[in-house]
Amino acid sequence: MKTLRAVAKKGNTMEPDIPIRLVDAKEAADILGISYSQFRALEFEGVLRIPRKMLGRKTVRYRITDINNFIMSDDATKRENDTDETA
């Protein structure tokens, strides 16, 4: 109802309050459809530009939204098309 009222008043929708889900590197690799070792190598090379979230000194997590944004970005699409053309 809150969203519908906002649309009626302003003519635009409100962003829903969706909790941010964090995943580890293995889950991120699964989402991207690559192996964990490929994920680590591509991240080290700077190909994967997915922001890291540090939890403490050693624990690294990635936001699902950042992973989805990377997948939908032009860079990811361009790399995928370049790989398909060379195959």
What is the reported pLDDT for 73? 82
pTM flag (> 0.85): no
64 in Cβ contact with 21 (< 8 Å)? yes
- Cα-Cα-Cα-Cα torsion 56, 61, 20, 78, nearest 10 degrees, comes to 150
pLDDT tens, N- to C-terminus, the chain (87 residues)? 566 666 666 655 555 556 678 999 999 999 999 999 999 999 999 888 899 989 888 899 999 989 988 988 865 555 555 555 555
Sequence-ordered alpha helix ranges (H) in 1-87: 2-10, 25-32, 36-45, 64-72, 74-86
What is the reported pLDDT for 1? 56
Residue 53 main-chain phi, psi, to 5 deg: -115, 120
